Amino acid sequence: MASLLEILDPSNLKYNTELGVTRADSGSGPPADSFGWIRTGRDASNESCEVWTTDDFEQGGRIADLGGPSSSTLNISPWETANVGCSSNIAVWCMQD
């Protein structure tokens, strides 16, 4: 699972369209408006599902996408993030060397 800091600047990354989520107009880049789990790089908290050890819906984890602004999100340009329950069925942003 990628840390937001590892993928903060997507212009320097190559998106794997064979393994990742795509849209009809994705081209070779990542899809817009497609949330995925993201690591925060912080200690265990309600933003990391207790460092990804729980699927308790009452606990929260951070997700991020490359999409338009929304009142329920925190924008970290070009990313927007939100906190959702740990049992949510959402894709994961990944990194590879």
- pLDDT tens readout for residues 45-84: 777 888 888 898 888 899 998 875 454 555 567 788 888 9
What's residue 71's pLDDT? 46
Which residue in the block uniquely carries the two structure tokens 């949330």? Answer: 35
What's residue 69's pLDDT? 47
Q: Which residue from 49, 32, 37, 39 is spatially nearest to 6, judged by alpha carbons?
A: 39
CA 93-89-23 angle, 5° bins: 55
Q: Which residue from 46, 49, 9, 47 is spatially nearest to 29, judged by alpha carbons?
A: 9
What's residue 95's pLDDT? 86
* pLDDT for residue 14 is more than 80: yes
pTM over 0.75: yes
Q: Which residue from 62, 65, 63 is spatially nearest to 77, judged by alpha carbons?
A: 65
How far apart are the C-alpha atoms of 41 and 22, rounded to whole Å?
27
User: What is the per-residue pLDDT across 15-50, written as a single tens digit (0 to 9) for each?
Assistant: 898 888 888 877 888 887 889 999 888 887 777 888
Centroid of chain to Cα 93: 5
